[in-house]
Amino acid sequence: MARPVKWRKIEMIPQILKFNPDQSNVDAESAVPKIILENILKLEELEAIRLKDLEGYEQEECAAHMEVSRPTFQRILISARKKVADSLIKGKSIRIDGGYYTKNICQIRCQNCGREWIERYEAIDVGQVKHHTCPRCRSALLRCCPDDESELAEECRRKCESHHMS
């Protein structure tokens, strides 16, 4: 059985999610009308390009930022660069959409039995968490991000409290 895909942590979701080639310089008489094909760039692929190519981090640092292994980061980056190159060379549009990403991975701990598991920040934000009670002891005494004092963890805890999880 294959391992489950690990969430890829991203820092931002871009405002602009589609890029189209400019065909205004194509001679109208010689141009054959065609459907513009597109590549779909996953949000974690965009994050990989941002970290490596724009910010200039080493791959090990990029992988740490995204909370994935270095080989996984390499695969994400190769896929992203291939899609961007294909779009630039063949005049395809790029749509940024989907993927297996999260802005934060929130650790949940049962205050009764100590069991821990993770939830995506986005699932907590909209109240669609996997477990509203502990999967082991069924206690509702849950604590969100108990050992994390970062700003994202504080925001996560506020979301948990608004959904009666903390």
Closest by CA position to 142, among listed 153, 132, 152: 132
What pLDDT score does 163 carry? 63
The CATH code for residues 103-162 is: 2.20.28
Confidence band (pLDDT; 50, 70, 90) for 166? Answer: low
Higher model confidence: residue 143 or residue 54?
54
Please state the domain extents for the chain. Answer: 8-22+33-101, 103-162
68-121 tens-digit pLDDT: 999 999 999 999 999 999 999 999 999 999 999 988 878 888 889 999 888 887
164: left (phi over 0), alpha (psi -120 to 50) or beta: left
Q: Could you tell me the fold of the domain covering 8-22+33-101?
A: Arc Repressor Mutant, subunit A (1.10.10)
Residue 133 pLDDT > 70: yes
Strands (E), the chain: 8-9, 18-19, 38-41, 93-96, 101-102, 105-110, 116-120, 142-144
What pLDDT score does 148 carry? 76
pTM: predicted TM-score of the whole model, two decimal places: 0.76
Read off the amino acid at residue 31. A
Residue 132 pLDDT > 60: yes
What pLDDT score does 34 carry? 62
Residues 139, 132: Cα–Cα separation, whole Å: 9
3-57 tens-digit pLDDT: 777 889 999 899 999 999 987 766 655 555 566 799 999 999 999 999 999 999 9
